[in-house]
Structure 1
Amino acid sequence: MTCPVRMEPLPGTPPLLIPGDPYSVCVLLRGYAEPVGDRGAVRADGSVTLIVPTPGPGPRKPAAPVPGSPRGAEAQAALERAAAGPILVDTAGPWARGALLEALAGQGLAPGDVGLVVATHGHSDHVGNLGLFPAACLLVSRDLCLPGGTYLPHGLAEGRPLRLGPGLEVWATPGHGGAGDVSVAVAGTARGTVLVAGDVFEREGDGDGWRELSEDPAAQERSRRRVLAAADVVVPGHGGPFRVVRGAPGPQETHPLVGSGQELDGDRLPDVGRGGRPGDGRGAGWARGGPGGCHQPVRDGSTCKDVEIIIVFVTGLGLFATPASSWHLRSLSAPRTPHP
């Protein structure tokens, strides 16, 4: 059976909050790519996304390495400890240093507050500000480095993710930059599963244009299908986030997915306003007691019903909805003009 999926842009401009439990997602900077002149030059920068754990009833207790544990266990424990604080996915190019610092400050954060930086791949428009985070654990493609320069082995591979926390994983999604590309999957948001996918997708509706930019188009095609099979929302490398709608095709770009026989039950995700509980019309954001909320929250719900998908989930991430987070996102004093 073939099941088409449709991409629809998610309304709003950065900072764009998708609240969740146990993690909320906020797109801080929207990536872009635009031609310059007529000789093939492109002006571009990558998206930057913040992932913040929702406070629970007690302190988080990340795993500690066990003496004599198998290879990779130390890396797993280090990642879970680092993920107990804010996580940044990609850092844009060095020319965006000021915009990144401003966006972090708008959420009440300084670079030293970030516990983990994940770079989806090694291109300059995604790793250009790694130097702002010397105290953070770094996962750059598949290189895991602790503060101070200690590199740890780990077992990340296609079909074998790295777990950062409940419903939070790093996936191997090779293709665009080669074999080492990664994406971050966040389950349990008010919009379902969010995939921060780097340049697996350039943008919503990128057609076949991504192929000429890919180091390994066959691997990237495989990664794209896996992302579309699992995600409800995708944050691409050079455009705004978009919804993945399964079912009858519409006017937007569609992608056929060959069914595997696994079905998704129909569930309507809660209508989350700019704060408080789903559907109560009040807005939410996270915060250390911060006022306000995200400049453009996600409000509308979505439905997914009776759909067969291409890949059986091997990661344990599912499609489910939870109430809005009790964290609060603070808006910038003046909303930043989004990149084109």
Structure 2
Amino acid sequence: MYDFFYLQEGYCHEIAGETNFKASCSVSLLRKGEFSILIDTGSPWDVKHIMEKLHDIPNQCDIIDIVVCTHGHVDHIGGIAYFPNSTIAVGADMAKLGNIYLSDYSIKERDYQVSEGAFITFTPGHTNEDISLIADVKAESVKRVLPFLETTSSTVKVAFVGDLFEKENDNDSWQELSSIPDTQNFHRERIKKLVEVIVPGHGPPFVVTKT
């Protein structure tokens, strides 16, 4: 089971009087013993904040074992250059130190087991190459972020989905940002059936309910 550290809550806001908008993504760290996974890195302008948050985590090693960027948008990959010693997945590509691309990362064909209790699955739609990470997380660490979570289990299955879900209750908005809405909807429904909690790209984590 992994410990869950929520480093940044994603957001997306309109700028008054402009057609532009201000946005950055949720950033999460999972850790089991000395093995750690960073999910998304935020934008280039988030780097200082994210690195400070990482350094504040007790006993966190300097090296992140794997960085999982759910897709290639600026607000999700802006910090990957700060993790040159990590294995890095961006959508359907995975590489490690030395510019070595990993040929066994055939994510479009099958899920990729990162370690016991955590795997990457292909969830395109928002872009053509989105991925999500699903992990078994200690309930106590999820409750630090979702104190109202009701569970009698010590483990919660959590999906870190990037912009597959923009935020909780996004049914009236995600389609306009989607490259392939039908495909994205398929994977939204698939992921909801697999997990109890979803960490979306631009809002706080939420509990999956029947409604």
Q: With the length of structure 1 as denominator, give the TM-score of the two structures.
A: 0.55
User: Which residue of structure 2 aligns with residue 213 of structure 1?
Assistant: 177
Q: Alpha-carbon deviation of 1:129? A: 0.5
The 5 Å alignment of 1:78-93 reads 85-93=35-43
User: Which residue of structure 1 aligns with residue 25 of structure 2?
Assistant: 46
**Which is richer in helix?**
2
Greater RCO between the two (CA within 8 Å, min separation 6)? 1
Q: Give the secondary-structure state (helix, strand or coil) at the position aligned to 1:218.
A: helix
Q: With the length of structure 2 as denominator, give the TM-score of the two structures.
A: 0.87
Distance in 1 (alpha carbons) for counterparts of 2:8 and 2:137: 22
Distance in 1 (alpha carbons) for counterparts of 2:28 and 2:92: 18
Distance in 2 (alpha carbons) for counterparts of 1:188 and 1:96: 25
Distance in 2 (alpha carbons) for counterparts of 1:110 and 1:52: 9
User: Which residue of structure 1 aligns with residue 123 of structure 2?
Assistant: 173
Q: Give the secondary-structure state (helix, strand or coil) at the position aligned to 2:208.
A: strand
User: Which residue of structure 1 aligns with residue 16 of structure 2?
Assistant: 37
Q: Deviations over 1:210-230 (max 9, x none)?
A: 111111111110111011111
2:108 to 157, 164, 184: 157
Q: Count how many residue pairs are aligned between Structure 1 and Structure 2.
A: 195
Distance in 2 (alpha carbons) for counterparts of 1:122 and 1:46: 12
Q: Alpha-carbon deviation of 1:120? A: 0.2
The 5 Å alignment of 1:53-68 reads 53=32, 55=33
1:100 to 34, 44, 50: 50
Gaps of at least 5 residues in structure 2 are: 140-154
Q: Is the 8 A contact 2:4 2:137 kept in 1?
A: no
User: Which residue of structure 2 aligns with residue 121 of structure 1?
Assistant: 71
Q: Give the secondary-structure state (helix, strand or coil) at the position aligned to 2:75.
A: helix
Q: Is the 8 A contact 1:101 1:111 kept in 2?
A: no
Q: Deviations over 1:55-79 (max 9, x none)?
A: 4xxxxxxxxxxxxxxxxxxxxxxxx
Higher Cα radius of gyration: 1
Gaps of at least 5 residues in structure 1 are: 1-20, 56-83, 247-253, 255-340
Q: Residues 231 and 40 from structure 1, CA distance in 2 versus in 1: closer, same or farther, beyond 3 angstroms?
A: farther
User: Which residue of structure 1 aligns with residue 150 of structure 2?
Assistant: none
> Which amino acid in the other structure matches residue 130 of structure 2?
D
